[in-house]
Structure 1
Amino acid sequence: MAPLDAALGWDDDTTAETYAAFTRDFPMYGVTSRDLARRASLTGNSLVVDLCGGAGATAKSILDLVPMHAHVISLDNAAAMQRAGRRVLTDPRLTWGTAPAEKLADHVPDPADAVVCNSAIWKTNVPVVFSAVHQVLRPGGRFVFNIGGGFAGVRHPDEVAQRTGQSLNALIHQAAASDYGYTPPPATEAAPKLPLEAITEHLSTAGMTLVGSEIVAQHSTMAEKKAWLSIPVFARPEGEFSHTQRMEILHKAYSLTKPDAPTVTSWLVVVAQRPTEER
């Protein structure tokens, strides 16, 4: 059994509950959500969209910054993720909408002051979504999102400096090879899925402008990395393994590391805007 696809496998209760627990127990989503919310300049906003909002980790950070009269719409295609979020996030200012990001305009009744998307733009039809974001934003409204360094083709200097020894993914491949005769796929240097040049072009085509971008480093630990790889959509290795087998492989690989060993991942953060004056 192959791992659940990272774009299509989210509407699964086990995945949703494991993911929601990760967002509560580890800092990654809290840190990245607060960073995006801060860049969106939300203090005077009335309507904000949390795009591909999952279980509501980013919506929570948005709600912490918007005025008490503001309204937040969290849109996601996975009902299971939203069920997990609704159980813990009950703010009356928040509305949950179940729909793909490409249908954003059908679920935002009034012009939005900002659209925020945490680590999910890569799995959408980017030109269609950017066009929908332009459609729902008021003139001058902000669109803020981030992309993992691998998808964007960027690497923060901290990630380069921190690389010592084998990664947990490499140890997983070794354990799978030792215990199951697994043959890892050949290492290839794939072209980045969404480099900044392509993002800028897509934004321009959609009628938005790039306000700024920054490569940031997310500092965490091997324990957090293990928890991340315990979420079914991210469990490794690929191939005909059950989830139980993947967890056995993960535990064996993790036993060769130190829980508090530092890890660093890179992110490209993008801030765009619908122009205040359009042709």
Structure 2
Amino acid sequence: MASSVDTAFTGSVAQLYERYMVPLIFEPYAVDLARRVAQASPRRVLELAAGTGAVTRQLAVMLDASAAIVATDLNPAMLEEAARIGTERRVEWRQADAMQLPFGDAAFDAVACQFGVMFFPDRPHAFAEARRVLRPGGLFVFNAWGPIGANEFADAVTDALASVFPQDPPRFMARTPHGYHDPARIAQDLSAAGFTGTPAIETVAFTSRAVSPRIAAVAYCEGTPLRGEIEARDPDGLQRATLAAEAELARRFGDGPIEGRIEALVVTAMSPAR
């Protein structure tokens, strides 16, 4: 279960997340997820945990001009950054908790969620809310990061921080973003939420690229809730931790532009007929 520290995408973290993390690891999956939604030709789409709008911006381009997009997130700072960047056409930005969606039954043709389900405190309950707001036969599509060992930059940063804080290593990346990757468990949670069909669960891999180890280190240490874990252990330790992450990334991938594998599960489920 994600802690309050794990979900703290606040203040400058939201801006650093958009500047560094989105191009580093989120952009290719945003394109992939939006394409899957667009293929269903929905007229009304709800996005959960929209963050700074990586998927939202893709949906605004790929969906039919008549389709309505409602993009939600629990964290106001993330939505403010998303709205500041903007989209190709009108999107309704709305703060909302995926555990208690402020929408009527069968209000949407599709519900999408990019790398948000790992943060939900009760996934079957959140999935049941998604099913409730979907029309019969509606599409629910989301992704979740694979094991941390299959996501090379995240793995390197986590190992580096364990050397900085050996008595209490920050484990945010392994615990939360990379903590929900068992297909059987995902299928079980969807079933408990009332999705009756067999979900399609596909492993999708891309290559993450950064112009330098420094950029990747800043992305992870300062543009995610990992920052809160570091500062909780040492209020003045952020620079030291970032330098350690940079050194480990350089050791593994080189001093210039670097590349590493990223891997996620993409899950598609259909709302049952009522």
Note closer, same or farther for the CA distance 1:35–1:108 as it changes in structure 2 (3 Å cut).
Answer: farther
The residue correspondences of 1:193-212 to structure 2 (distance < 5 A) are 193=180, 195-208=182-195, 209-212=197-200
Shift of 1:193: 4.2
Identity of paired residues, percent?
23
Partner of 1:273: 270
CA contact (8 A) 1:148 1:267 kept: yes
Q: Where do 1:207-222 residues align within 5 Å?
A: 207-208=194-195, 209-221=197-209
1:177-224 CA distance string (max 9 Å, x none): 5xxxx435599x989545221221222232222341111223113645
Q: What amino acid maps onto 2:194 in structure 1? A: G
- Is 1:120 paired with 2:116? yes
User: Aligned runs of 1:122-271 on 2, under 5 Å?
Assistant: 122-124=118-120, 125-150=122-147, 167-174=156-163, 176=164, 182-185=166-169, 193=180, 195-208=182-195, 209-221=197-209, 223=213, 225-226=216-217, 227-235=219-227, 237=230, 239-242=232-235, 244-255=236-247, 257=250, 258-271=255-268
Q: Which residue of 2 aligns with 1:89?
A: 86
Task: Report deviation, 1:259.
Answer: 4.3
Q: How far has the Cα of 1:29 moved from its partner? A: 1.7
**Number of residues of Structure 1 aligned to a counterpart in Structure 2:** 255
| 1:80 match | 77
Distance 2:169 2:221 in 1: 18
Mapped to 1, the partners of 2:70 and 2:99 lie a distance apart of 15
Deviations 1:139-194 (A, max 9, x none): 2211111111138xxx76xx6xx79xx823323333x25xxxx435599x989545
Does the CA-based 8 Å contact 1:43-1:65 persist in structure 2? no
Aligned pair 1:18/2:9, yes or no?
A: no
| Matching residue's letter, 1:195 | D
**Aligned twin of 2:100:** 103
Structure 2 unaligned regions, length at least 5: none
Q: Residue 65 of structure 2: SS of its match in structure 1?
A: coil
Taking a change above 3 Å as real, the CA distance of residues 109 and 61 of structure 1, as seen in their structure-2 partners, is farther
Q: Do the aligned partners of residues 22 and 200 (structure 1) sit closer, same or farther apart at CA in structure 2, a change above 3 Å counting?
A: same
In structure 2, the CA distance between the partners of 1:173 and 1:211, relative to structure 1 (3 Å rule), is: closer
Q: Give the Cα–Cα distance (whole angstroms) in 2 for the partners of residues 30 and 211 of structure 1.
A: 24
Structure 1 residues 108 and 49: alpha-carbon distance in aligned structure 2, compared to 1, 3 A threshold? farther
CA distance in structure 1 between the aligned counterparts of 2:89 and 2:104, rounded to whole angstroms:
17
Aligned to 2:30: 33
Contact 1:4 1:232 in 2 (8 A): no
> Which letter does structure 1 place at the counterpart of 2:234?
F
Summarize the Cα distance change of 1:241–1:118 in structure 2 as closer, same or farther, 3 Å threshold: same
Aligned partner of residue 229 in structure 1, secondary structure: helix
TM-score normalized by structure 1?
0.79
Query: What letter corresponds to residue 207 of structure 2 in structure 1?
Result: H
Q: What TM-score do you get using the length of structure 2 for normalisation?
A: 0.80
Change (3 A) 1:169 1:199: closer
Q: Secondary structure at the match of 1:218?
A: strand
Name stretches of at least 5 consecutive residues in structure 1 with no aligned partner: none
Partner of 2:48: 51
Q: CA deviation at 1:32?
A: 0.8
Aligned residues of 1:42 and 1:114 also touching (Cα < 8 A) = no
Larger radius of gyration: 1
